A and B are shown apart, each in its own frame.
Chain A
Amino acid sequence: MAPDIHPFTLLLASIFTSNILLANFLGMCSFISISKDMTSSNGLGMAVTGVLTITGMINWVVLKYVLVPLDLLYLRFIVFIVVIAATVQVLEMVIDRISPTLYMALGIFLPLITVNCAILGVSLFMEIRNYTFIQTTFFSLGSGLGWWMAIMALSAIQKKIANAPVPAGLKGPGITLITIGFMAMAFIGFSGMLIVQ
């Protein structure tokens, strides 16, 4: 049964209190690598938000009108991944056409969005928590926005840290992971404020 949560609550919850990245730790790899550069982070954040929203919606439709009636729930993993892969492929072609510079800047991380666990994670959350279509849309959009906000925040922090005296052994991935840890701890302060299921 769909939980009785207002879609707007879900939107705010998925951005702040239940941030897909900082509370659920999904979508880390591109988060850590692309956050070195602010313009690419911005572009990737936009791309991930787009993919999340679109795939969330399509997957809900496929789940409700194909998988459940045909009793094929066990196929949800494969089907969701196919949908995500196709969406990312189309997005790649569109980005290449609109902005070759962004396409080159994102490099391998654009096709890597396909295996970004945040994308599959959101679809699976939607399925487990029995969201309605509107709830799914707002939840996916919010998760995307939350991911985008987190990567922008991390890239801003990394810009500041670049001038700080970080010990040599911790430079790069080391200090980044520590920073993410601190960001996550800060966001724990929000936990429980809004329910998501």
Chain B
Amino acid sequence: MNFLVAPLTIASIAGGFAALISIVDKHVNDYGDVTININSDKKNLDVRGGDSLLTTLSSEGIFIPSACGGRGSCGACKCKIVTDVGPHLPTEVPYLTKEEMGDNIRLACQIKVKKDLELQIPDELFNVKQFIGRVEKIVDLTHDIKEVLIDIGEETIDFDAGAYVQLVVPPYGKIKDINQRAYSMSSRPSDKSHIEMLIRLVPGGIATTWVHTLLKEGDKVDVIGPFGDFRKSETNSAMICVAGGSGMAPFKSILYDMFEKNDTQREVWYFFGARTEKDLFYLQELRDLQEKWSNFHFVPALSEPDTTGKWQGETGLITDVLDRYLKEVIGDKEREGYLCGSPGMINACNNVFTENGMDLDKIYYDSFA
């Protein structure tokens, strides 16, 4: 029996310490109940600590924008935390400017809720809801852009034209985690029970691959919104809008909204750039709108029209067409620029605008890139 003494001793010492570690772990990782005070008592939440601020808030129905689903890879979940939660983590620093850091701006997905917190978020976020919808219709607009219409049933969504929503992408294929990606709404604010998006397939993209290969009519989808502050101004300046491909989405919403509300006194120009005929869509709809709305001018332009000569519209790079129109047709009145597209295209158009005398602070872009 003597030979048992050694193993038993080691086992009990190891076991004893393992028990100690479990007890400490439970104690140390149990942050108890905490209170989150939002916008100086506008809303108070009693929650259990331990999770990230982003997750904790969303489980209580407060949604802070996140283009990456809380992974720390997009920087969209900025909020101001008044309480001291320690120095900025290395995971937050790449997304914050020095001013923001000095102003106590943190990334909600990186801050763990450990004690009572007071934070400030834009009031509009109280309007954000999570919707469980059903895909009502999917239309192929071009070879790589789909129009997706979602019915949110009994719920209603209240937004200003130009806003965006976050589409929740469930695990699929080899992908094991839930993801979220942002898309502008192309539907009109007057249609409160539907959400429509224009989604272009991006090679290797997590959400767009799912939408283009797996999403079917009748499927259930989760959508969170509305977010964003891209919208038309309240002035009377001429609106010069430029977008190509799925960038059309916020403009579709804004243009039809204006027309519906009889907001038709302003001069509105919409420049739609594409490469070939097969990259264009909504041509007839926008031409019809142009017929009905005398102040609205639709200018599609192809940079590589096919050689049959069927294309009667403008040709050339959209920036060249824009430049020509600014100089020869639109002229020197009060103008505002509205851009939706890739950073390269936005830069190029910005240059055209400023060379034609437009003020940089009168140029607006859809900025969730």
Chain A residues within 8 Å of B, Cβ to Cβ: 62, 66-67, 70, 72, 75, 78-79, 82-83, 85-86, 89-90, 93-94, 96-97, 99-101, 104
In the assembled complex, B369 has its CB within 8 A of some CB on chain A: no
Partner of B10, one of A75, A86, A89: A75
Q: How far is the CA of A45 from the CA of B87 in the complex (A)?
A: 21
Given A78-B10, A99-B86, A101-B89, decide whether A90 and B5 contact each other with a Cβ distance below 8 A. Answer: no
Q: Is the CB of A82 within 8 A of B28?
A: no
A-B contact list, 7 entries, CB within 8 Å: A72-B6, A86-B17, A93-B28, A96-B28, A100-B89, A101-B87, A101-B89
Known: A86-B18, A104-B90. A93 touches B13 (CB 8 A): no
Complex contacts, B89 vs chain A, CB 8 Å: 100-101, 104
- In the complex, which residues of chain B have a beta carbon less than 8 angstroms from the beta carbon of A85? 17
Residues of A near B86 (CB, < 8 A) are 99-101
Nearest CB in chain B: distance from A38 CB, A: 16
CA distance A50 to B21 in the complex (A): 17
In the complex, how many angstroms separate the beta carbon of B121 from the nearest chain A beta carbon? 23
Contact digits for B1-28, partner A, Cβ 8 Å, 1 yes 0 no: 0000110011001100110110011001
CB-CB under 8 A from B20, the residues of chain A are: 86, 90
- For window 8-65 of B, CB contacts with A under 8 Å fall at 9-10, 13-14, 17-18, 20-21, 24-25, 28-29
A66 near B29 with CB under 8 A, answer no
Which residues of A have CB within 8 Å of B17? 82-83, 85-86
Tell me the interface secondary structure of chain A in the complex. helix
A82 in contact with B14 (CB, 8 Å): yes
Contacts of B5 in A (CB 8 A): 70, 72
The CA-CA distance from A104 to B29 in the complex, in Å, is 17
Q: Which residue, of A86, A96, A99, has the highest number of chain B Cβ atoms within 10 A?
A: A86
Lowest 6 CB-CB distances: which A-B pairs, in order?
Answer: A86-B17, A93-B28, A97-B28, A90-B24, A82-B14, A89-B21
Check B6 against A75 for contact (C-beta < 8 Å): yes
Which of B9, B24, B29, B114 is A72 in contact with, Cβ under 8 Å? B9
CB distance from A54 to the nearest CB of B (A): 12
- Shortest CB–CB separation between residue B22 and chain A, in angstroms? 10
Q: By the criterion CB–CB under 8 Å, are B25 and A93 in contact?
A: yes
Instruction: Output the nearest chain A residue to B110 by Cβ-Cβ distance.
Output: A100
Number of interface residues of B (CB under 8 A): 20
Interface residue from A67, A94, A104 paired with B24 (Cβ < 8 Å) = A94
Closest residue of chain B to A105 (Cβ to Cβ) is B90
**Smallest CB gap from A91: residue in B:** B24
Closest to B16 in A: A86
Are the CB atoms of A83 and B24 closer together than 8 Å? no
> Besides the contacts A86-B20, A93-B24, A100-B86, what 17 more A-B pairs have beta carbons closer than 8 Å?
A67-B9, A70-B5, A70-B6, A70-B9, A72-B5, A72-B9, A75-B10, A79-B10, A79-B13, A82-B10, A82-B13, A82-B14, A86-B17, A86-B18, A93-B21, A94-B24, A101-B87
CB distance from A195 to the nearest CB of B (A): 33
Q: B134 → chain A, closest Cβ, in Å?
A: 42
Q: What's the Cα separation between A133 and B6 when bound, in Å?
A: 24
**Chain B positions within 8 Å of A83 at CB level:** 13, 17
- Closest approach, in angstroms, between the C-beta of B213 and any C-beta of chain A? 39
A99 / chain B contacts, CB cutoff of 8 Å: 86
Shortest Cβ gap from B8 to chain A (Å): 9
Bound-state CA distance A89–B21 (Å) is: 7
**Residues A62 and B13 in contact, CB atoms below 8 Å apart:** yes
Complex Cα spacing A78 to B24, Å: 23
Task: Tell me the B68-97 residues at the A interface (CB within 8 Å).
Answer: 86-87, 89-90
For residue A58, give the distance in angstroms from its CB to the closest CB of chain B.
Answer: 9
With CB as the reference atom, state the residue of chain A lying closest to B90.
Answer: A104
Bound CA span A79–B9, Å: 9
Select one of B13, B14, B25, B90 contacting A66, CB under 8 A. B13
Docked pose: A90 CA to B87 CA in angstroms: 23
State A83–B18 Cα separation when bound (angstroms).
10
Taken together as a complex, chains A and B put the C-alpha atoms of A85 and B6 apart, in Å, by 20
Question: Is the pair B24, A75 in contact by a Cβ cutoff of 8 Å?
Answer: no
Identify which of B5, B10, B13, B14 gathers the most chain A CB atoms within 10 Å of its CB: B13
Given A82-B17, A86-B21, A97-B29 contact (CB < 8 Å): yes
Residue of A nearest to B31 (CB): A97
B91 → chain A, closest Cβ, in Å?
8
Question: B residues within 8 A CB of A100?
Answer: 86, 89, 112
Find out whether the CB atom of A94 lies under 8 angstroms from the CB atom of B28: yes
A127 nearest CB across to chain B (Å) = 16
A79 to B14, CA, bound (A): 8
Q: Which residues of A contact B90 (CB under 8 A)?
A: 104
B6, B29, B87, B89: which has the most chain A beta carbons within 10 Å? Answer: B6
CB nearest to B23 among chain A residues: A90
Q: Cα distance A72–B10 when bound, in Å?
A: 10
Taking CB atoms, residues of chain B closer than 8 Å to A75 are 6, 9-10
- Docked Cα-Cα span, A100 to B90, in Å, equals 10
